[in-house]
Amino acid sequence: MHSDEASPIPNSKCTFLPSSSPPPPSGFGGNFSADLKFPFLSAIFMLSLNLRPLSIMSKRQRPIQSPPSTPPTPQTHNPKRPKTILKPTKWVPLNLTQSELSLPLTFPTGQTFRWRQTGPLQYTGVVGAHLVSLRHLENGDVSCCLHHTTTSETNAKLALLDFLNVGISLAGIWEVFSASDSRFAELASYLGGARVLRQDPVECLIQFLCSSNNNIQRITKMVDFVSSLGNHLGSVGGFEFHEFPSLERLSMVSEKEFREAGFGYRAKYITGTVKALQLKPGGGAEWLLSLRKTELEEVIETLSTLPGVGPKVAACIALFSLDQHHAIPVDTHVWQIATRYLIPELAGARLTPKLCGRVAEAFVSKYGKYAGWAQTLLFIAELPSQKALLPAHFSNAKESKAAKKKDRKSPLSVVD
């Protein structure tokens, strides 16, 4: 679990745009059509994994060990609301192996703050109006249980698969990356299944407004407050789950109320962004969805016009909800990865907005159209919780004691 004393990394305003949109890397084949719809960072619960080398294209991976405990039950905005306690009744297979989706390497890695561990190798969350649980079976495959939906089970499953970005073959991407990067190939054998989600853009945007200069505990508390404004769907594993509130519902909450709930200066950003979205042609939700068909540079510039959205937050939103798979959200941790393995000539330099652009270009030059996915795995491999479990040769022998101590205090930097 993340320490209550986790502190944010100092703020760094950066740009994350390669000079132009990259072409797809060669070797993907039929599963990688440009028409596929599929979209970090920066916050994690401590994981406890049982790792062993696995074939990148393996159809059966041993399930990763689940963290031993879960966070305290969050407080909801309306504690008097009747609770509907739901228990799994019907588990159905998703036809996803662990090499395509590892739940512990996907949900508690700072992409979303609304999913909770509700059992051994089990995570529960909301997709649209659907409350679902996912878990690994003994053979590593993923199954799901639909607790609540306002539509048919078929529609709920389609929405879930879209959220999980299953249109992209993770093993196929890893194979191409590994062919040109031996270190990536070895890491992928230990950390297979770290998937990038395709979230609802409004939900993703509001969550990352909460993440600016923040740590995991406070981000989660803020996101819980926002979530509690939506329709209550039920309780699983001691956690309350809600449909994410609409822009109309969010517009009814004043800046003062957000400040009283502990949002600080972010309160004005949320209320300001909600108002700005409501003025967009066709409504804010549709306007954000339209950015999925826009070039990355324009997406970053457009999102950065919203209150509280800087280049880093914009890159997170682009990667995790707007199908911008080569978006690179750069913080100090990603900078360290880049200078260690991609642009060592810049090691020791001070991170600036211009150098953030160099980092993005270095990742895209190496990994192509899906550079954001490659960065996700490389980032996870640098987390203290993972370094301790990977073979010793993955550790950076030159890393200072001070840097290691700093990493322990702040496993992930969620800044903009």
Query: Checking DSSP bridges between strand 142-148 and strand 232-236, what pairing results, if any?
Result: unpaired
Mean pLDDT of 262-269: 97
- State which H helix or E strand residue 91 sits in: strand 91-96
Q: Is the pLDDT of residue 398 over 80?
A: no
Give percent above pLDDT 90 in the chain: 62
Residue type present at position 368: G
**C-alpha triplet 248, 221, 13: angle, nearest 5°:** 85
Looking at the domain assignment, is residue 228 inside a domain?
A: yes
Reading the block at residue 127, the tokens are 């997709």
pLDDT value for 402: 40
* Residue-range definition of the domain harbouring residue 331: 29-409
SS3 category, 298: helix
Task: Out of 73-82, 133-142, 304-313, 342-351, pick the least confident.
Answer: 73-82
Looking at the domain assignment, is residue 306 inside a domain?
A: yes
pLDDT value for 53: 39
- What global pTM score does this model have? 0.77
pLDDT value for 109: 85
Answer for the pair 161, 195: CB distance below 8 angstroms, yes or no: no
Per residue in 197-219, is it b (16+ CB within 10 Å) or e — as a string?
A: bbbbbbbbbbbbbbbbbbbbbbb
pLDDT value for 15: 41
Cβ partners under 8 Å of residue 244, min gap 6: 114, 126, 200, 202, 203, 206, 226, 227, 230
DSSP secondary structure code for residue 368 in this structure: G
What CA–CA distance (Å, rounded) separates 94 from 158?
11
What is the distance between the terminal CA atoms of the chain, rounded to a whole angstrom? 23
Looking at the domain assignment, is residue 391 inside a domain?
A: yes
Give percent above pLDDT 70 in the chain: 73
Looking at the domain assignment, is residue 23 inside a domain?
A: no
The torsion region of residue 121 among left (phi > 0), alpha (psi -120 to 50) and beta comes to: left
**Neighbouring C-alpha atoms within 13 Å toward the C-beta of 123:** 23
Mean pLDDT of 228-237: 97
Task: Out of 89-93, 153-157, 266-270, pick the least confident.
Answer: 89-93
Mean pLDDT of 116-126: 96
Mean pLDDT of 234-238: 95
CA dihedral (179, 180, 181, 184) in degrees, to 10, reads: -40
Q: pLDDT tens for residues 15-37? A: 444 544 454 443 333 333 333 33
What CA–CA distance (Å, rounded) separates 353 from 346?
14
Average pLDDT, rounded, for the chain: 81
Residue 89 burial (CB count, 10 A): 8
Reading the block at residue 291, the tokens are 């950015």
Residue 74 or residue 155, greater confidence: 155
pLDDT value for 41: 37
Q: Is the pLDDT of residue 147 over 60?
A: yes
Look up tokens 């078929």; give the residue.
154
Residue type present at position 18: P
Reading the block at residue 117, the tokens are 């561990």
Q: pLDDT tens for residues 279-293? A: 999 899 999 999 999
How many domains are contained in the chain? 1
Q: Is the pLDDT of residue 353 over 70?
A: yes
Q: Is the pLDDT of residue 90 over 70?
A: yes
Answer for the pair 94, 143: CB distance below 8 angstroms, yes or no: yes
Residue 414 or residue 230, greater confidence: 230
Reading the block at residue 273, the tokens are 């962004």
Q: Is the pLDDT of residue 381 over 90?
A: no
pLDDT value for 262: 96
Residue numbers annotated as active site: 312
Answer for the pair 46, 1: CB distance below 8 angstroms, yes or no: yes
Answer for the pair 136, 64: CB distance below 8 angstroms, yes or no: yes
Look up tokens 């957000």; give the residue.
258
Residue 393 burial (CB count, 10 A): 8
pLDDT value for 39: 37
DSSP string for residues in 132-201: EEEEE-TTS-EEEEEEE-SS-HHHHHHHHHHHTTTTS-HHHHHHHHHHH-HHHHHHHHHSTT-PPP---H
Q: pLDDT tens for residues 299-336? A: 999 999 999 999 999 999 999 999 999 999 998 889 99
Looking at the domain assignment, is residue 22 inside a domain?
A: no
Mean pLDDT of 64-77: 44
Looking at the domain assignment, is residue 176 inside a domain?
A: yes
Looking at the domain assignment, is residue 10 inside a domain?
A: no
Looking at the domain assignment, is residue 229 inside a domain?
A: yes
Task: Out of 165-169, 238-242, 343-347, 391-395, pick the least confident.
Answer: 391-395
How far is C-alpha 227 from the geometric centre of its chain's CA atoms? Answer: 17
Q: Is the pLDDT of residue 367 over 90?
A: yes
pLDDT value for 316: 96
pLDDT value for 86: 62
Confidence of residue 83 (pLDDT cuts 50, 70, 90): low
What CA–CA distance (Å, rounded) separates 173 from 370?
8
Mean pLDDT of 167-178: 94
